[in-house]
Amino acid sequence: MASFISRKAEVLGKVLQDSSVLGESLIGEGSIIDRFVYVGYPRRSKLIGMKSAGDLNDLDRLSSGARIGSRCIIRSYTVIYEDVELGDGVETGHGVLIREGSRIGDGSRIGSFSQLDGCVEIGSGVSIQSNVYLPHLTRIGDRVFIGPGVIVTNDPYPVSGRLTGVRVRDEAVIGAGAILRAGVEVGRRSVIGAGAVVTKDVPEDSVVVGSPARVMMTRSEYEERKRRYELGR
């Protein structure tokens, strides 16, 4: 099937077949949209209002579009909703979902099958591995690393009528499989060990492990251990 590109869209990059660019979307220069990708998919409230199943032309009329920066790589089966902005040099793995209102800074990478579930803010130079869940209102700073299978939450008493986002400050490291409780703040340059359950704020420049997560060492001590490991000592 040929690609579907809205007449309202501006495409300066390359869109491969079987993909759809909806609404007033912008695809920046040098960007590649792989096969089976949606850019500018309409939000849920608009779809509920549809009187019939419709087709891509109907979705196009509903969409306000998304903005993809230059030199981005959007791999197959990624769905990017309307009102999403990606900076320059952003990459997604396969099967990534980015819901409406989300923002991703320059040079960040989102691993395969990860989900940004709406109004998520990601800084620049962030590395998010595969199968990560970031819910509504999550805020991630610059140069953060998030390991595979990390789960962030936003409701301490589900299902409540009040959501509270998690904030991760610049240069933090979150190990594989960690779980972050709604509302916590992860301090700048802090490290969360693999599998940790974070139930309270993490001080900057600290390393926490366990369930519940507790301070084990400083970031400086962590870096020294990493250096010795890399040297094979």
pLDDT tens figures, 210-225: 999 999 999 999 999 9
pLDDT at 54: 72
Three-state DSSP at 5 gives strand
Structure tokens at 42: 């309409």
**Cβ(214)–Cβ(193) under 8 Å?**
no
**Could you tell me the pTM of the whole model?**
0.95
Q: What is the pLDDT of residues 106-131, one digit of tens each?
A: 999 999 999 999 999 999 999 999 99
Structure tokens at 62: 């509903």
Query: What does the pLDDT average to over 184-195?
Result: 99
CATH 2.160.10.10 for domain 157-233, yes or no, is yes
Contacting residues for 114 by C-beta, under 8 A, at least 6 apart:
93, 96, 97, 128, 129, 130, 131, 132, 133, 134
Domain ranges of the chain: 157-233
Structure tokens at 39: 């850019």
**If you search the block for the tokens 């800074």, which residue do you land on?**
105
Structure tokens at 95: 């099967």
**Cβ(83)–Cβ(43) under 8 Å?**
yes
pLDDT at 53: 62
